[in-house]
Amino acid sequence: MATSTTVSKSNSETLEAGVARRHVFRVVRRVWSDPDWRYKVDKSSISATMRYDCAFL
């Protein structure tokens, strides 16, 4: 029972890390394709994105 709980926990952590990584790549790709994107987005949403990434990473 303890082993199954550990496996499911590690799987969920891996899944969350994968989701955060995809999110980071999506943001980086958007910035690269549109250099002015950073200036179009207000600071509150940028900080919210950073908080989201840190929560998963």
Beta strands in 1-57 (DSSP E): none
CB 27 within 8 A of CB 20: no
Read off the pLDDT of each residue in 27-39 and give the average, rounded to a whole number: 68
Number of domains into which the chain is organized: 1
Band (pLDDT 50/70/90 cuts) for residue 39 is low
Average pLDDT over residues 24-47: 67
C-alpha span between 57 and 18 (Å, rounded): 9
CA 50 and chain centroid, separation: 8
pTM of the model: 0.33
Q: What is the pLDDT of residues 9-31, one digit of tens each?
A: 667 777 787 787 887 788 777 77
Please list, in sequence order, all residues whose beta carbon lies within 8 angstroms of the beta carbon of residue 30, skipping any fewer than 6 positions away. Answer: 37
**Nearest of 13, 11, 41 to residue 27 by alpha carbon:** 41
Question: In the predicted model, is pLDDT for residue 46 greater than 70?
Answer: no
Range of the domain at 42: 2-56
